Structure 1
Amino acid sequence: MQLEADRAPDEQRVALITGAGRGLGAAIARELAPDHRLLLGARTPAGLESILAELPGATGWPVELTDYAAVAAATGPIDRLDVLVHNAGIADLGTIAESSVRQWRETLEANLIAVAELTRLLLPALRAAGGHVVLVNSGAGLRANAGWASYAASKFGLRAFGDALRLEEPSLRVTSVHPGRIDTDMQRAIVAGEGRAYEPDQFLRPETVARAIRTAIDTPRDAHPTEIVLRPW
């Protein structure tokens, strides 16, 4: 097993970030870019054009995460991975009375099942590096509010997945990050659906959450940052 101590002094760490085309994912990419070789994920190449132009040293990794044959093909060439940041996800909100089987399936598929499968496929590469898995969860992974049932269920499940992975893979570090609402395009859509005016100052800045993730990744190996909870001030 190749651990951090086995890495050449000038060898860059490798990080894969899903949902990296904009918002929090792009902020995480900017935070890690100075000293990581980045693989930046999105559904399509077009979704990565802007961030790749900004970070020319990064490599695009466009794949639909719920297309498991495509994910298996895309992960095949990755033989060592120091950091895996699961940031991609969806928020299709509504009351239980208004929900559908399709909504529940798509939410659980995107926010939980795809995460589990991508992690499973990358375990050999993560083990080879003594890697770090970062799960971008939510405050909804700690408590469920009215109108958020399917989303919260997916995030509660994501937390359970992280807890199990941490115990099953003792050579890896696994951090669940539970931010409150973040100022992103997704948040704008959520607030519009709530029928409220959008006030950016009410929400966390993506850069703030990205910095917290960076701090977890940089924590010395004698400590295991298992959970980070952030709330807007």
Structure 2
Amino acid sequence: MTKQNTVVITGAGSGIGRALAVEAARRGYRLILAGRRLAALEETARLAGHADAVCVAADVTTPEGRARIAAAAQDRLDVLINNAGTLSVGRITGMADAALERMVATNLTAPMALTRDLLPALEAAGGRVVNIGSVFGDIAFPFFAGYSATKFGLRGFSDAIRRELSGSGVGVTYVAPRAARTEAESEFGALVEPMAMTLDSADTVARQAWEAIEKGRRESYPKGKERFFVKIQRLLPGLVDKSVGAQARDPRVLAALDTRPGGTI
């Protein structure tokens, strides 16, 4: 009998996490879905066609929540996808401590801590850690300063543990999608047109992520202009300073920023 691989997906109740779960099911994985809302996780399981999926209602930013996820994974795990994230957009001068702390806790501290907690199970299976970052983790955009900082950190963590785990049998893949059409768009939707953002569907992000996972790639970036800009950012960051920095002074961008409803997802 062929062994069925198991994947843990955090933030699986909506958006990219839900799409990752549906794609994982299509590829034959056993699902462990983690998120704050049990009803949303159960809906993901239904959409994935996996009534036997394990749904873990847990806050990944807390030790108790991570312990529940680890208990569900037990002693062997093939893939951990650190996907849960949160976003607040706006001028740094108007960013509340709570918003900054929430982004750091969810987008950076939680993936590091959960990876640590699940490493024994991943090592037992020769598994893979997958961190869902962002193109904003390479190209830091104005008004996304806190979010970009957490994704830069997640990219650095991915590189560090890839090297730390060298020879252990555990692989690490960093996935950097561009902005996606999910619930998060409500936080930055007014900026999409004036900042000339290209948005992908959650399904597109999930397919590209799983392709990278199953091919054992170290990183995955979207096709198109963003991949080119990432290379320019690494080689000639001053050029990106001028181009992207100009957006911080663009009257259309500032008008959109001032009229957006605000909030955090």
For normalisation by structure 1, the TM-score amounts to 0.87
Q: Residue 66 in 1 paired to residue 66 in 2?
A: no
Matched, 1:16 2:8: yes
Mapped to 2, the partners of 1:28 and 1:209 lie a distance apart of 8
Report deviation, 1:145. Answer: 1.1
Q: 1:186 aligned to 2:184?
A: yes
> Displacement, 1:231?
4.9
Q: 2:23 — aligned with what?
A: 31
Deviation of 1:67 (Å): 1.6
**TM-score under structure 2 length normalisation:** 0.77
Matching residue of 1:98: 94
Residue 157 of structure 1 is matched in structure 2 by 153
Q: Please give the residue correspondences for 1:58-207 in structure 2 after superposition, counting only pairs within 5 Å.
A: 58-77=53-72, 78-170=74-166, 171-192=169-190, 194=191, 202-207=198-203
Summarize the Cα distance change of 1:79–1:156 in structure 2 as closer, same or farther, 3 Å threshold. same
1:100 Cα deviation from its structure 2 partner: 2.6
CA-atom RMSD in angstroms: 2.1
The total of aligned residue pairs comes to 218
Residues 204 and 232 of structure 1 are in contact (CA less than 8 Å); yes or no, is this contact kept in structure 2? no
3-state secondary structure, aligned to 2:119: helix
- Mark the CA change 1:231 to 1:102 in structure 2 (over 3 Å): closer, same or farther: farther
Of 223, 227, 231, which aligns to 2:219?
Answer: 227
Structure 1 gap segments, 5+ residues each: 1-8
The offset of 1:27, in angstroms, is: 0.9
Report which stretch shifted further, 76-85 or 11-20: 76-85
Percent identity at matched positions? 36
Partner amino acid for 1:188? S
Contact 2:180–2:200 (CA<8 Å) still a contact in 1?
Answer: yes
Q: Which amino acid aligns with 1:109?
A: A
Offset, 1:217? 2.2
Of 210-219 and 13-22, the range deviating more from structure 2 = 210-219
Q: Which one-letter code corresponds to 1:57 in the other structure?
A: D
Alpha-carbon distance in structure 2 between the residues aligned to 1:121 and 1:50 = 27
> How many Å separate the matches in 1 of 2:81 and 2:182?
18
> Residue in 2 aligned with 1:4?
none
Gap runs ≥5 in structure 2:
226-265
- Counterpart code for 2:58: V
Provide the residue aligned with 2:248 in structure 1.
Answer: none
- Change over 3 Å in CA distance of 1:202–1:142 after alignment to 2: closer
CA distance in 1, matches of 2:185, 2:81: 20
1: distance between equivalents of 2:61 and 2:31?
21
Q: Is the 8 A contact 1:138 1:178 kept in 2?
A: yes
- Equivalent AA in structure 2 for residue 45 of structure 1: L
Q: Distance in 1 between matches of 2:92 and 2:187?
A: 20
Q: Aligned to 2:131, what secondary structure does the other structure show? A: strand
Shift of 1:196: 6.3
